[in-house]
Structure 1
Amino acid sequence: MKYMMTYDLMESARNTNAWIGASAKAMASYPAFALTMNPAIQLTAAWGEVMERSFARMVEKPDWGLRSIVGTDGTDHLVDIVKVVERPFGDLLHFSVRRRAPMKRKVMLVAPMSGHYATLLRSTVKSLLIDCEVYVTDWHNARDIPVSAGKFDVEDYTLYLVDFMRELGPDTHVIAVCQPVPLALAATAYLAAEDPDAQPRSLTLIGGPVDPDAAATEVTDFGRRVTMGQLEQTAIQRVGFKHKGAGRMVYPGLLQLQSFISMNSERHGKAFQEQILRVARGEASDHDAHNRFYDEYLAVMDMTAEFYLSTVERIFKNREIAQNQFVVAGKKVDMGAITKVAVMTVEGANDDISAPGQCVAALDLCTGLPDSKKTQHLEPGAGHFGIFAGKSWRLNIRPLVLKFIDAHSGENAPVTAMAETAANSPETLGKAKAAS
């Protein structure tokens, strides 16, 4: 009962702040105030607008917003989002492009379950959709999943990935981003031992903590500093009566958001101050750069308590993946069992979430994989977000990933002119050479 009250108190605080913002905006926008020249009136209305929008976005699942893409024939092709596999804790979505023959590259994009929705990869999906058949793991908000659905921890997550890979078949190329990187590696190794014919053709691991101790960050320091008992007492709450998952133990999204913002509080504070001034001057818009970013960044979801705690304990503290001691459903998963799946790691030189060294450790674990099937890339000057959705992804990493996929496909799928030009540019080739 104590945890329910805490959860509902956080939601009440969020709701109250949204109401305060809406009230400030409405009151300061009253026509009579237009007679005064006091700039505080406009600033109050602008502050209220930004505050209301920010707190309202925290409980809304963003839309994918991918209505259509331009095809090679120059016409628009509508995009349908189809559920290929439906499960209580997550679905496998297919971005089906109308009037287009199936693409030779079949990509399964594994979205992180680390506080944000899978829509955080919207720009990644959009960039791949031009040249690939794209499938994405869409994880559900734990507060909306009834307790009767049971538990969901790192082993269940891994088995979900195994089932998704089996569904798509052996001609699939898996791309895992951030948190799921070690579990995607484990799922591939699990298939290598249990169902070799269902293994994907390639596995691209982008900025994930395969070996958290390879390079210390604030995230890994926190995992070492806090005991599991302290974490359970301070971070875990029980979903309130308002939601379908009432009574489920979770790590609340609002609590996660507080941690996200505190890591770069000065930068976020400055961004909101500047946005308030832009709104007051009439320079802001509904889809400006600030709103596009924060509409997604502020939208958070709850994780099941068992998933969050098992991630911290088994991946970060005990380093079960890094030490090749991970167990799934009572079976030890040996990364050395991967002998056919080509593996590529991508890291950002300025990544403060998963620092360089943490992800590339996956290649050392794949002892049964020949060097010809191993590739690594370190992107100079790139932060965490940039390596999968920012400028670095668009200009350098995406072409390299597509080239890697083509090199390890059953058939040599054609590289698009856009990808080939970027991949062979002097800047990209120079960076790839330096990273290798």
Structure 2
Amino acid sequence: MLYNLHAMGACWARSVNFYAFLNASLSKDIPWLKQWHAANRLLERSTRPYSRPSFDLEIEESVVICNPFGDLLRFGTPDATKPNLLMVAPMSGHFATLLRGTVREFIRDHNVYITDWHDAGSVPLTDGRFTLDSYVDYLREFIRYFDGDVHLMAVCQPSVPALAAVALMSEDREAVPRSMVLMGGPVDTRHTPTEVNDFAEKRNLAWFRRHTIHRVPLNRRGAGRHVYPGFLQLAGFLAMNIDRHVSAHHEYFDHLVSGDGDSAIQHEAFYDEYLAVMDLDAPFYLETIQKVFLEHHLPKGILECEGRRVKPELITDTALMTIEGELDDITGPGQTRAAHKLCTGAPLHEHLTQPKVGHYGIFNGRRFREEIAPRIRAFINQASNR
């Protein structure tokens, strides 16, 4: 019902969006209508639908593996002199383009590939369900593509399935990544619990099933699929820092009135990305809540994939680096570092707690470019030369 109401609201918003766009266009170059123009620009952006943004990196993109719920995307033409880097983007609401800055930083000296996850609300029911096991299977398929000649980077949520995939492949004596970099991931959320962790801990799985899962309406390709809708996730994202978002839009209005085009463009670029969200298939979302945030299966040694217990201690050929942000209010310090206690057989261990950065600062921004990325490059080089 809620998803249907949202769809009805979106239809109504389209007419409002059209008139706001028209008013903003007609008043654009009229000095005494600056405030009217700014108000309509703000209204137009507040009522428009936001779809998956493009990476827009001025480099060729190609899909090398295509699956219903996510592809393996390659940037540029492979160069045998550069190491392969597989970035595992989070499947937690935003699209893989959230890592645009991360990709841009590494495409100069690496062959960069990324997991490009699809909006579950656009995946037909005939393509089946997507579970935590499915996620691990997808990662194993993507890793096999490189026959061991790859370095794995998992940003935030995929730290757990990435570690599980490498552990299972190690046990099966398959070719595994040379190194694995886990960045701000919830390996063990019992360390330094954040507001996100506390929210989950105070509720049981039945609450999440009852309040967050809805059926995709008939006007979408995934009609009938049970999902955690992107618009609900976005509401949660906004609520966590509502004052900051309100202030940002006030400033955007002022920038438009004053003619500060550069600042307005920066605001629009950020929110074009931030407001583009996707649905998550219900089984995957609920399993993640249960096994990662409520019952802590991985650190307790009871995580199973397709009936097999995941054994991180069997990872003996993949170097491990973990990265955390001192000010991370989503994945608290210690949650990712916990991977080192699990992967006791890893041939090389390194950890970095980056001062003065929050969650997004781990993989984007000036400190990432100037301080974190060089440490990752050095670690990858060290792992390559073992």
Residues 215 and 223 in structure 2, CA contact (< 8 A), matched pair in contact too: yes
Q: Distance in 1 between matches of 2:249 and 2:240?
A: 16
Q: 1:181 maps to which residue? A: 159
Residues 57 and 295 in structure 1, CA contact (< 8 A), matched pair in contact too: no
Q: 2:45 maps to which residue? A: 53
How do 1:291-330 residues align onto structure 2 when only pairs under 5 Å count?
A: 291-330=268-307
Q: Distance in 2 between matches of 1:343 and 1:240?
A: 43
In structure 2, the CA distance between the partners of 1:88 and 1:393, relative to structure 1 (3 Å rule), is same
Q: 2:53 maps to which residue? A: 62
2:326 is equivalent to residue 349 of structure 1: yes
AA aligned opposite 2:222: G
Q: 2:98 maps to which residue? A: 120
The offset of 1:27, in angstroms, is 4.1
> Which sections of structure 1, spanning at least 5 residues, go unmatched?
68-78, 412-436
In structure 2, the CA distance between the partners of 1:403 and 1:260, relative to structure 1 (3 Å rule), is same
My pick for the range that moved more, 283-292 or 164-173, is 283-292
Q: 1:88 maps to which residue? A: 68
TM-score, length-normalised on structure 2? 0.95
Residues 23 and 40 in structure 2, CA contact (< 8 A), matched pair in contact too: no
Q: 2:244 maps to which residue? A: 267
The offset of 1:138, in angstroms, is 0.4
2:12 is equivalent to residue 20 of structure 1: no
Q: Distance in 2 between matches of 1:332 and 1:171?
A: 26
Residues 252 and 263 in structure 2, CA contact (< 8 A), matched pair in contact too: no
AA aligned opposite 1:383: G
Q: Distance in 2 between matches of 1:313 and 1:93?
A: 30
Q: 1:6 maps to which residue? A: 2
Q: 1:424 maps to which residue? A: none
Residues 200 and 294 in structure 2, CA contact (< 8 A), matched pair in contact too: yes
Q: Can you list the C-alpha shifts for 1:99-152, whole angstroms capped at 9, x where unaligned?
A: x74342110000000000000001110110000000100000001100011111
Residues 121 and 389 in structure 1, CA contact (< 8 A), matched pair in contact too: yes
Identical pairs, percent: 39
In structure 2, the CA distance between the partners of 1:287 and 1:136, relative to structure 1 (3 Å rule), is farther
Q: 1:397 maps to which residue? A: 372
AA aligned opposite 2:39: W
The offset of 1:8, in angstroms, is 2.2
User: For 2:298, what is the secondary structure of its paired residue?
Assistant: coil
Q: 1:139 maps to which residue? A: 117
Residues 226 and 281 in structure 2, CA contact (< 8 A), matched pair in contact too: yes
In structure 2, the CA distance between the partners of 1:103 and 1:51, relative to structure 1 (3 Å rule), is farther
Q: Distance in 2 between matches of 1:169 and 1:286?
A: 45
Q: Distance in 1 between matches of 2:329 and 2:11?
A: 32
The offset of 1:53, in angstroms, is 2.2
The offset of 1:15, in angstroms, is 4.2
Residues 20 and 43 in structure 2, CA contact (< 8 A), matched pair in contact too: no
Q: Distance in 1 between matches of 2:47 and 2:159?
A: 31
Q: 1:151 maps to which residue? A: 129
Q: Distance in 2 between matches of 1:409 and 1:6?
A: 50
Q: 1:221 maps to which residue? A: 198
Q: Distance in 2 between matches of 1:261 and 1:11?
A: 20
Q: Distance in 2 between matches of 1:395 and 1:386?
A: 11
The offset of 1:339, in angstroms, is 1.2
The offset of 1:66, in angstroms, is 1.2
Residues 15 and 55 in structure 1, CA contact (< 8 A), matched pair in contact too: no
In structure 2, the CA distance between the partners of 1:18 and 1:351, relative to structure 1 (3 Å rule), is farther
Residues 216 and 227 in structure 2, CA contact (< 8 A), matched pair in contact too: yes
Residues 142 and 250 in structure 1, CA contact (< 8 A), matched pair in contact too: yes
My pick for the range that moved more, 398-407 or 150-159, is 150-159
Q: 1:432 maps to which residue? A: none
AA aligned opposite 1:63: S
Rg larger in 1 or in 2?
Answer: 1
Q: Distance in 1 between matches of 2:179 and 2:295?
A: 28
In structure 2, the CA distance between the partners of 1:89 and 1:19, relative to structure 1 (3 Å rule), is same
Q: Distance in 1 between matches of 2:79 and 2:188?
A: 40
2:354 is equivalent to residue 363 of structure 1: no
2:176 is equivalent to residue 199 of structure 1: yes
Q: Distance in 1 between matches of 2:143 and 2:14?
A: 41
User: For 1:346, what is the secondary structure of its paired residue?
Assistant: strand
Aligned residues: 385
Q: 1:428 maps to which residue? A: none
In structure 2, the CA distance between the partners of 1:19 and 1:277, relative to structure 1 (3 Å rule), is farther
Q: Distance in 1 between matches of 2:98 and 2:47?
A: 18
The offset of 1:17, in angstroms, is 3.6
AA aligned opposite 2:140: V
AA aligned opposite 1:43: Q
Q: Distance in 1 between matches of 2:135 and 2:24?
A: 48
User: For 1:321, what is the secondary structure of its paired residue?
Assistant: helix
Residues 120 and 279 in structure 2, CA contact (< 8 A), matched pair in contact too: yes
User: For 2:48, what is the secondary structure of its paired residue?
Assistant: helix
Residues 171 and 409 in structure 1, CA contact (< 8 A), matched pair in contact too: no
> Which sections of structure 2, spanning at least 5 residues, go unmatched?
none
AA aligned opposite 1:390: G
Residues 110 and 176 in structure 1, CA contact (< 8 A), matched pair in contact too: yes
